[in-house]
Amino acid sequence: MSNSSSNPTESSAKPRVKNQPVSLNLSCPECFYAKYPASGFCTNRDCAQSERSSRAMTGDEILRQFELPTLFHGRRWGTWTLDTERLCLVYDASQEERGDGSGRTAGVPLYVGYFGKYEVDLETIRHSAGMLDWIFQIRKKSWATRAVTKDLLNALDSIFHPQENLCSGHSHKTIKDPKAFLRSRFETVGVAA
Ligand SMILES: [Zn+2]
């Protein structure tokens, strides 16, 4: 994000390597959930690092302290990792470089992707039924422990905010253009207006 503005002479052909969560210190060192950017507390309520300050705070302080982290490339909810390039939520992911060099991807700019054992194609989620289908399909997997399913719910909540965008007040909503919806979420969540 800030890379392009800080170095305007760089051409658009530069590798599309986005935020590196570890180096930018955006993630909790214990559970790898994102941290609240202002306070540094962990967004995972089950993590010891999520401890809140006990001193009295003004409404503004509280609001600022819990400003949401952005939906950055590589953001994790436990065992799930968001790949904002491929629009996937990846289980048990590791970081891999793709693009130029493999032969099959000649001419494709180099980028870091997240690849793992299983992935949720976020673009297929257009309504509540689509999301429920993913949740209960994954629930049946042998590797879907309590932590895995909880992390999945947390990830889907952060990415989609379903109660606003899919199922507000028990009513049915449809995401007309999933790609545009996701891009808009990535650009706006946690970004000061
Ligand atoms: Zn944590």
**Cα of 41 from ligand 1 centre, angstroms:** 8
Mean pLDDT of all residues in the chain?
85
Inter-CA distances, 124 with 6, 85, 128, 188, Å = 36, 15, 11, 21
Give strand pairing partners of 120: 89
Domain ranges of the chain: 14-188
- Is 65 a residue whose pLDDT tops 80? no
Residue type, 62: I
Residue with the larger pLDDT of the pair 155 and 11: 155
Least confident piece of the model among 7-21, 33-47, 78-92: 7-21
Categorize the per-residue pLDDT at 18 as very low, low, confident or very high, splitting at 50, 70 and 90. very low
**Cα of 7 from ligand 1 centre, angstroms:** 33
**Cα of 167 from ligand 1 centre, angstroms:** 28
- Is 110 a residue whose pLDDT tops 90? no
pLDDT number for residue 87:
97
- Is 117 a residue whose pLDDT tops 60? yes
Answer for the pair 102, 91: CB distance below 8 angstroms, yes or no. Answer: no
- The CB density around residue 79, as the number of other CB atoms within 10 Å, is 21
Give the count of alpha carbons within 13 A of 171, CB side only: 5
Structure tokens at 35: 């941290």
**Cα of 151 from ligand 1 centre, angstroms:** 12
Ion ligand 1, residue ranges at CB < 5 A: 28, 30-31, 33, 42, 44, 47, 49
**Cα of 21 from ligand 1 centre, angstroms:** 14
pTM score over 0.95 = no
